[in-house]
Amino acid sequence: MTLKELTAREVQEQLESGKELHIIDVREDDEVAQGMIPGATHIALGNLPIEMHDLDQTTPYILVCRSGGRSGRAQEIMADEGFDVTNMAGGMLAWEGQAE
């Protein structure tokens, strides 16, 4: 299975062009408190196996963490359940856009 990936810059450009993205931030609470991508949904990686069942399987999601590692694990978990998921490579360390 080939897992899809976007760079932080590509995600930022899509948002700035007005595209509606569904972003899930899988970092821990204290990390998210330091800023996350505007409009992102926070679901910590540990809660994902339970909470992902509340998400719409027909919606494509972009997964974000600090550096791309945990979101890659989240991507495998969700892809195994049939979700259309893309990992944001480099995570928030590579993010140069706005954060809230």
Q: What is the pLDDT of residue 21?
A: 97
Nearest residue to 45 (alpha-carbon basis) of 71, 66, 67: 71
Q: What is the pLDDT of residue 2?
A: 79
3-state secondary structure of 75: helix
Q: What is the pLDDT of residue 67?
A: 97
The H or E element that residue 16 is part of is helix 8-16
According to DSSP, the residues that pair with 88 across neighbouring strands are 6
Which listed residue (26, 45, 52, 65) is catalytic? 65
Active site residue 34: no
pLDDT less than 70: residues of the chain: 1
Ranges of beta strands (E only) in the chain are 4-7, 23-25, 41-42, 61-64, 85-89
